[in-house]
Amino acid sequence: MERSLVIFKPDAVQRAIVGELLARFERRGLRIVGLKIVSVDRAMAQRHYEVHKGKFFFEDLVKTISASPVVACVLEGPNAIAVIRAMVGATRPHEATPGTIRGDYALVGLRNLVHASDALETARTEIPLWFKDEELVTYRRDVERWLTDEGPPS
């Protein structure tokens, strides 16, 4: 099982589509193990986007994610990072394939609705930045036997 950080950015919150987008991940079979709404201050935004510090778009990233509350969540499932990245689509909305979140809902630049961890190591550093250990839960759903290789009960 992998875990990934997913952030529904201010544009998703302001457009009131967070529930609709989160439901797509749940319908795919991913499990929500952490969920909260957060007002992101400048310091947090800078820590989150630290990997982009010094790049021409860094300041715009910081301003955008701190412009309005976000909904942060941790999703879990087999190959979660690759599955989520495929569902989210290309970073630039005009390059995102129809059927992806960005391909179906986003139009331009930084208004791309969702952040998702891009690798296992990234998830391992991002999740603790946004969630304390006690804010994450571990549980099983009976339906998972029907979504994974575990198979039906004997």
* Chain segment 8-19, per-residue pLDDT in tens: 999 999 999 999
Q: Give the model's pLDDT for residue 110.
A: 81
What are 75's strand-pairing partners?
4, 32
Answer yes or no: is pLDDT of 104 > 80.
Answer: yes
Band the pLDDT of 145: cuts 50, 70, 90. Answer: confident
Could you identify the residue written with the tokens 């909904």?
A: 71
Q: Give pTM, 2 decimals.
A: 0.93
Q: Give the model's pLDDT for residue 90.
A: 95
> Class of 2-40+69-139 per CATH?
alpha beta
* Chain segment 17-61, per-residue pLDDT in tens: 999 999 999 999 999 999 999 999 999 999 999 999 999 999 999
**DSSP character string of 91-108:** SSGGGSPBTBHHHHH--S
Q: Give the model's pLDDT for residue 109.
A: 82
Band the pLDDT of 153: cuts 50, 70, 90. Answer: low
Answer yes or no: is pLDDT of 151 > 90.
Answer: no
Could you identify the residue written with the tokens 């990997």?
A: 51
Cβ atoms of residues 67 and 10 within 8 Å: yes
Catalytic residues: 115
Q: Which two tokens stand for residue 58?
A: 């860094």
What is the C-alpha separation between 69 and 77, in angstroms, rounded?
26
